[in-house]
Structure 1
Amino acid sequence: MGKLLIWVIVILAVMMVMRIVAARNSTRHTTRQSPPKPPARQPGQGPVESMVRCAHCGIHLPRSEATLLDGKTWCSQEHARLGER
């Protein structure tokens, strides 16, 4: 009975050491990889466009859809008329 208990302890110790070594190898492997690439653009999508913020309500919208008056961007003519908040 004593020999069986020693073998169980030895096997558990070996398994624990193997698990620790595997965990260290996996963390070393992930730190050496290059950073992930951004997702590829799908065909048919337009060019990337910068976003601007409305000076009145704070909503973000594409630059091509914004109204530019007096050096500030607005989401609509109405908000440009109302002015900055």
Structure 2
Amino acid sequence: MRVLLIVAGVLLVMKLLKGRSTPPPAAPVARPPRPPAEIVACAHCGLRLPQAEAVQAGDGRFFCGEAHRRVAGQRLD
């Protein structure tokens, strides 16, 4: 009789564990590719950097930082 109860208990546990299977992982969300960044060169030192990070002067030239924009402006005056 004990063996029958043990077998029934094992079968019940196996059935419960089988029903608790984890769902498959969700597929990753595909992101649209970003367009490549426009690269510009500093008009003072020639450093190449993304346009979004550059400082633009009023005449359309790009600089790697505010200091180079000021230096270039002083030279022109």
Provide TM-score, normalisation by structure 2. Answer: 0.47
Normalised to the residue count of structure 1, the TM-score between the two structures is 0.43
Q: Which has the higher helix share?
A: 1
> Which has the larger Rg?
2
